[in-house]
Amino acid sequence: MSKQVIAKPSSTAGLDAWLSYLEALHPTEIDMGLVRVQAVAERLGIEPGRAKVMTVAGTNGKGSTVRYLETILRASGYTTGVYISPHLQHYEERVRINAKQLDASQHVAAFQAVEAARGETSLTYFEFGTLAAFWLLQQSDVDVWVLEIGLGGRLDAVNCIAADVAMITSVGIDHIGFLGADRSGIAREKAGVFRSQRAAVIGEPNFPALVLAELQQQDIFPQRVGVDFSYRLSDDQQGWHFFSPRSELHQLPLPQLPLPNAATALMALELLDLPVPVQAIREGLVTAREPGRLQYHAGPPEVLIDVAHNPQAATFVAGHIQHRFAGRPVYAVVGMLKDKDIAGTLQALAPVVSQWFLADLQGHRAASAAELAEALASAEDVTPQCFASVADAFVAAKAQATDDSQQPLVLVCGSFYTVGKLPQSE
pLDDT tens, the chain, 426 aa long: 344 567 889 889 999 999 999 998 886 766 777 999 999 999 999 999 999 999 999 999 999 999 999 999 999 999 999 999 999 999 999 999 999 999 999 999 999 999 999 999 999 999 999 999 999 999 999 999 999 999 888 999 999 999 999 999 999 866 555 556 688 999 999 999 999 999 999 999 999 999 999 999 999 999 999 999 999 999 998 999 999 999 999 999 999 999 999 999 999 999 998 999 999 999 999 999 999 999 999 978 999 999 999 999 999 999 999 999 999 999 999 999 998 999 999 999 999 999 999 999 998 889 999 999 999 987 667 889 999 999 999 999 999 999 888 889 999 999 999 999 887 655
Sequence letter at residue 121:
T
CATH number at residue 359: 3.90.190.20
Establish if 220 belongs to a structural domain.
Answer: yes
**Do residues 208 and 132 both lie within one domain?**
yes
Q: pLDDT of 158-191, one tens digit each?
A: 999 999 999 999 998 665 555 566 889 999 999 9
**Do residues 279 and 315 both lie within one domain?**
no
CATH number at residue 273: 3.40.1190.10
Establish if 250 belongs to a structural domain.
Answer: yes
**Do residues 240 and 144 both lie within one domain?**
yes
| pLDDT score at 4 | 59
The count of C-alpha atoms lying within 13 angstroms of the C-alpha of 203, restricted to the half-sphere facing its C-beta, is 26
Q: Which of 287, 322, 357 is the last residue of a domain?
A: 287
Backbone angles phi, psi at 34, to 5 degrees: -110, -5
CA distance 152 to 378: 30
Establish if 8 belongs to a structural domain.
Answer: no
Establish if 185 belongs to a structural domain.
Answer: yes
Establish if 193 belongs to a structural domain.
Answer: yes
**CA 387 to chain CA mean position, Å:** 27
Number of domain units in the chain: 2
Q: Which of 251, 270, 287 is the last residue of a domain?
A: 287
* Residues in contact with 313: Cβ distance below 8 Å, sequence separation at least 6, in sequence order: 59, 60, 172, 306, 307, 345
CA distance 337 to 132: 27
**Do residues 262 and 365 both lie within one domain?**
no
**Do residues 324 and 223 both lie within one domain?**
no
For residue 331, the SS3 value is strand
Edge-to-edge strand list for the sheet holding 409-413: 295-297, 303-305, 409-413, 330-334, 355-359, 385-387
| Sign of the C-alpha dihedral computed for residues 321, 323, 325 and 330 taken in this order | positive
**Do residues 87 and 234 both lie within one domain?**
yes
Establish if 4 belongs to a structural domain.
Answer: no
| Sign of the C-alpha dihedral computed for residues 66, 76, 204 and 288 taken in this order | negative
| pLDDT score at 180 | 61
Range of the domain at 50: 15-287
CA distance 330 to 340: 23
| pLDDT score at 2 | 42
Establish if 426 belongs to a structural domain.
Answer: no
DSSP 194: -
Establish if 209 belongs to a structural domain.
Answer: yes
**Do residues 280 and 300 both lie within one domain?**
no
**What does the chain come to in residues?**
426
**Do residues 278 and 317 both lie within one domain?**
no
CA distance 395 to 416: 19
Q: Which of 235, 255, 287 is the last residue of a domain?
A: 287
**Do residues 326 and 412 both lie within one domain?**
yes
**Do residues 151 and 42 both lie within one domain?**
yes
Q: What pTM did the predictor assign?
A: 0.90
**Do residues 310 and 244 both lie within one domain?**
no
**Do residues 283 and 310 both lie within one domain?**
no
